[in-house]
Chain A
Amino acid sequence: MNDQGHNRLKFGLAKLRYKNYYILAVVFIVIFTFLVLVPLIKILITSLSFQANDERIVRGAREGAFTFYHYTRVFVGRLSRSLFYKPLKNTIIIGIGVTTLSMFMGTILAWIIVRTNIPFKKFLNTVIVIPYMMPSWVLALAWLLVFKNNRTGGAPGMITDLFGIVPPDWLSYGIFPIIICLGFHYYAYSFLLVSGALETVNSELEEAGALSGLDKLKVLKKITFPLVLPALGSSFVLTFSRSMGTFGTPALLGLPVRIFTIPTQIYASINARNTGDSFVLALVLVFMAAIAIYFNSKIIGKRKSYVTMGGKGFRSKPNNLGIWRIPITVAVFMFLIIIIIIPVILLAWNTLMLLPDDYSLSNLTTHFWVGESNFKISSGEEGIFRNPGIWGGVANSIKLGISAALLNAFLGLFVGYAIVRSRGTRISRSLEALSFAPYVFPSIAMGAIYLGMFARPVGPFPALYGTFWLLLLIVVVKNMPFSSRTGMSAMLQIDKSLEESAQIEGMPWFKRFWKIIFPLSRSGFFSGMLLTFITSMRELSLIILLITPSTRVLTTIIFGYEDQDMVQHANGVTLILMLIIVSANFIMRRFLGSKSVIGIKES
């Protein structure tokens, strides 16, 4: 190397040494490539080769040899109808149904709460997103308690018991209840997105419309609606891709009558040891989600400019509901009672019933909570409070929730920092894209991918399957898109000069981060933590494929009980899970609310 070249290199390195964000960014790029891209490639390769299990089925198959076997099997083979086309059709019907229902409800509720003079606004605003914090399948459990018929064994639901009417199959199981239960869960997405957009609509815009002679409906149609259109687009895509990848509800309400969606089919294929098939299906889901996200970014990219309004002279004057005020208020409260309170009461009541179909007072019992093992009831399963399996699950869940929350919040902050500080470079863009990539993986597909990747030792990692670490890893990676976004927006709010002035005063990077950046991004940090905690506590689709008896968490315990028809236990544990989530939320809010950081944003 010549002298000048040497000098250049030295110069470059000297500069780089003090620009830690580049180093940080590169480190993260390497890590995420390994955790996101490599698994995807690996699963692609696996799906294109024979597995050990295939050797027994296909003549001449050697493990690892290249083949289109799984693709032909899934897409064109004799079984393709039941393996792929029927589940695909169900998945799409459910996706469309859920999206329509939840957007309809979410949008109307958002408009009522943000833009009308409905009373108890603040209260409604907090309560209405409670379902969002809960596992998506709580409603499915409640549904079964009411509408289950005698077709699949086990005790039938309330309708049969109380009125002697046996609900038809389509009402007890399958597509219709799945759409209802998921729709009443996912409306929260549309609600959050649309109410966020509505809050930025200046009512002077609407008033200007009214002054130019438009009636109320026209104003809604011509002015308000176009302004919230981007939010509607986003909620469409988000809800659709979510409902497409969800496992819990379709499993609870579909599997007993052998109605499959792609996620439940992936689960079934893996249980049947047809890993190759499941990987093909997982890739299909990834592909579908990628398309959805592509359209979403198109919509947002084009219309983004609308949504950031506000600023000077911003006013929001609520629409007067007039004589409809009281009926609408009652309707909203009824809605909340039906989707939040009644399910909880149903679950709680059910856990107190010795025989699941006897509604007399003498049938009430505390056995499922505190009872000792009794082989006549629930195959001798102990009451929840004295059940070491359940306590183990509580401990595992909380351990998972807290460690994921901490890891995600810190990583998110560092990733956000690296992205924002190296803005405008290719490194920054790559890191941003990579940290967002897990968003494209539907949960169950990601579970399948990680199962494929980490069942055996890879590189520096020992075989992680069966350990807590694998659960933690997948939860952290899956949450990365949100936490890195949170980190980024926190960093964007902190004027660069705040760090630079510390730098000028001689502070090294670590100290600047600790003394300036971290304290200023604290509120984003903690709300990110809360969000990760909640999502990992309620997570089922993501980890169902990775759970082993020693790593069981509450959600999989619930699913296991439900599978074995131990309904009271399932419902009781669900209540515990909900209680943990609500308390965590409550504690965090108290903690955050008491001391918020003052004036972070520079003018």
Chain B
Amino acid sequence: MSGIKLSNIFKSYSGIPAVRSLSLEVKDGEFLTLLGPSGCGKTTTLRMIAGLEDADKGEIVVGNTVFYSSLKGVYIPPEKRKLGFIFQSYALWPHMTVRKNIALGLEQQGLGREDIEKRIEEVLVKVQLEGLGERYPSELSGGQQQRVAVARMVAMEPEIFLMDEPLSNLDAMLRIDMRTELKRLHHELKATTVYVTHDQNEALTLSDRIAVMNKGEIKQIGSPEEIYTKPDDLFVARFVGSPRINILQGTIEKGTVRVLKGRFNTNTQIKYKNDSVFATIRPEDVRINQRKTEGWLEAKVYSVLPAGSETLVYLKYNDSSITVKMNGFSSLKEDDLVWFYPDPAKMNFYSTETEKLIK
């Protein structure tokens, strides 16, 4: 069937590397997300899979077919790869109606008139655009255009879906709705999907697995849970999760890690050649109490940001700031005194030199 395998891909633009030594395997039917900041090479990677961009080096295999191999000298052009691609701009043909937009590729496949009509009706129903077939793209809202792009891809029945930030041009509410639709679509069609986004939240929501990229390299591949709870390095830890993860300076004293200028003992045993490490903890893993509690630390409230379902509280402890996420609303005010407890069981520890995970 149709897994995707990228091996050792290199790509540079006029000498500046965009993708470096990238290897990646997407399993058949899997929803894999390439996540990373803008300019890290996500689009380039996706376009290389589609053949819209040629790798300088490396091999791309889909199913049992070699699509591209610099070593074996194999090149299959995009028009013969039979993939589906959704562009960030949707790339709907502005001079054709929705129906014509969908039909063009089907005609190319050599389908008969009736089959084409039937297929169009089916996909329009699937993306909830019944009755809008005669409209031009410019007569549709952003969300509807996005659905047309999905419909156009789905109608071709490709085994592989490639999507480049398909939701980034929509407003916040619509984006959430469309996530539901895309997830449902993947569940129904089970097409192998590579999805590109810079929105970590979107990646966590949609993916079976996430590949986090930075500067043309893959930093970590794993399930959303692994990525969120056990980031391989500080970059991934910082990039995934909102609000941002707390990063605390730590020192190793007598084999255990102490953080916050040594005032908090995590009781975690670590063997490491240096005596300083970073400890990270998610804001929701920091507990907070308005009464003095034994073993907890006293801090001053810097700022309180309620957001309905949750409230973010920013604390000042000496020179360190700590973000805490609480459920619901809170009665805390700026400059209140509180006691907080960063749960050592939820902490990860990183090297100060390589920023890689130690424990």
Which A residues contact B (CB, under 8 angstroms)?
7-8, 10-11, 14-15, 17-18, 424, 495, 497-498, 500-508, 511, 515-516, 519-520, 597-600, 602-603
Q: Tell whether A511 pairs with B75 under 8 Å between CB atoms, given A497-B91, A503-B52, A506-B80.
A: no
Give, as a whole number of angstroms, the nearest-CB distance from B194 to chain A: 14
Number of A-B contacts (CB under 8 A): 94
* Complex Cα–Cα for A14 and B83 (A): 20
Asked if B84 is at the interface of the complex by the 8 Å CB criterion, the answer is yes
B101-109, B203-211, B214-222, B324-332 - the one binding chain A = B101-109
Bound-state Cα–Cα, A436 to B312, Å: 61
Beyond A500-B52, A501-B87, A502-B104, whether A507 also contacts B79 by CB under 8 A is: yes
Residue numbers in A under 8 Å from B72 (CB-CB) = 7
B-chain residues with CB within 8 Å of residue A599 when the two chains form the complex = 94, 136-138
**Residues in A neighbouring B95, C-beta threshold 8 A:** 519-520, 597-598, 600
Not counting A500-B91, A599-B137, a sample of 10 additional A-B residue pairs whose C-beta atoms are within 8 angstroms of each other reads A11-B70, A497-B87, A498-B94, A501-B85, A503-B79, A504-B84, A505-B108, A505-B156, A506-B108, A602-B89
Q: How far is the CB of B68 from chain A (nearest CB, A)?
A: 9
List 25 A–B pairs whose Cβ atoms lie within 8 Å, in order of A's numbering: A8-B73, A11-B70, A14-B73, A15-B75, A424-B14, A497-B87, A497-B89, A498-B94, A500-B52, A502-B93, A503-B52, A504-B78, A504-B81, A504-B83, A505-B108, A506-B79, A506-B108, A507-B108, A508-B79, A519-B95, A520-B95, A598-B94, A599-B136, A600-B94, A602-B91
Residues on B facing A (Cβ under 8 Å): 14, 50, 52, 54, 70, 72-75, 77-85, 87-89, 91, 93-95, 104-105, 108-109, 136-138, 152, 156, 169
| B14 surroundings in chain A (CB, below 8 A) | 424
Q: A543–B85 Cα gap in the complex (Å)?
A: 52
CB neighbours (8 Å) of B91 from chain A are 495, 497-498, 500-501, 602
B50 surroundings in chain A (CB, below 8 A): 500, 504
Q: How far, in angstroms, from A504 to B78 measured CA to CA in the complex?
A: 5
User: Contact: A14 with B75, CB < 8 Å?
Assistant: yes
Which residue from B75, B87, B108, B138 sits with its C-beta under 8 Å from A500?
A: B87
Question: CB distance B54 to A511 under 8 Å?
Answer: no
Chain B residues in 8 Å Cβ range of A507:
79, 104-105, 108
- Measured in the bound complex, the distance between the Cα atoms of B50 and A600 in whole Å is 24
Chain A nearest Cβ from B310, distance in angstroms:
34
Q: For A500, what are the chain B residues with a Cβ–Cβ distance below 8 Å?
A: 50, 52, 78, 85, 87, 91
Residue in chain A with minimal CB distance to B52: A500
For A520, list chain B residues within 8 Å (CB). Answer: 93-95
- Could you tell me the distance in whole angstroms from the C-beta of B242 to the nearest C-beta in chain A? 27
Contact (A504, B73) CB under 8 Å given A519-B95, A599-B137: no
The residue from B80, B93, B136, B138 contacting A498, defined by CB atoms under 8 A apart: B93
A520 to B136, CA, bound (A): 14
With a cutoff of 8 Å between Cβ atoms, the chain A residues found around residue B85 in the complex are: 500-501, 504
Given contacts A504-B83, A520-B95, A600-B94, contact A511 B108 (CB under 8 A): yes
Query: CA A520 – CA B95 in complex, angstroms?
Result: 7
Known contacts A500-B78, A501-B87, A598-B95; is-contact A515 B137 (Cβ 8 Å): no
Given A500-B87, A503-B52, A506-B79, A10-B94 contact (CB < 8 Å): no
CB distance from A215 to the nearest CB of B (A): 45
Task: Point out the residue from A8, A10, A15, A505 that lies within 8 Å of B104, measured CB to CB.
Answer: A505
Q: Given known contacts A503-B78, A504-B84, is B73 in contact with A603 (CB within 8 Å)? A: no
The answer to whether B79 and A10 touch across the interface, beta carbons within 8 angstroms, is no
User: Is the CB–CB distance between A505 and B105 below 8 Å?
Assistant: yes
| Residues of A close to B94: CB separation below 8 A | 498, 520, 597-600
- Residues on B with C-beta less than 8 A from A504 are 50, 52, 78-79, 81, 83-85
A526 to chain B, nearest CB (A): 14
Query: Which A residues are CB-close (under 8 A) to B137?
Result: 599
Most A-side CB within 10 Å, residue of B14, B70, B75: B75
Closest 10 CB pairs of A and B: A505-B105, A11-B73, A18-B77, A497-B91, A599-B138, A7-B73, A501-B91, A14-B75, A497-B87, A504-B85
Residues on A with C-beta less than 8 A from B52 are 500, 503-504
Query: What CA separation (Å) do A164 and B81 show in the bound complex?
Result: 85
Q: How far is the CA of A511 from the CA of B107 in the complex (A)?
A: 12
Q: How far is the CA of A427 from the CA of B249 in the complex (A)?
A: 55
Residues of B within 8 A of A602 (CB): 89, 91
Chain A neighbourhood of B70, CB < 8 A: 11
| Bound-complex Cα distance A8 to B94 (A) | 40
Contacts of A18 in B (CB 8 A): 75, 77-79
Residues of B within 8 A of A600 (CB): 94-95
Q: Which residue of A lies closest to B88 (CB)?
A: A497
Distance, CA A506 to CA B153, complexed state (A):
12
The answer to whether A495 and B89 touch (CB under 8 A), given A14-B73, A504-B50, A506-B108, is yes
What's the Cα separation between A497 and B83 when bound, in Å?
15
- Nearest Cβ in chain A — how far from B119, in angstroms? 13
| Complex-state Cα separation, A602 to B85, whole angstroms | 17
Interchain CA distance A13-B77 in the complex, whole Å: 12
Closest Cβ of chain A: how far from B345's Cβ, in Å? Answer: 48
CB B264 to nearest CB in A, in angstroms, measures: 50
> In the docked arrangement, what's the CA distance between A10 and B83, Å?
24
Residue among A506, A516, A598, A603 facing the most chain B CB atoms (10 A cut-off): A506
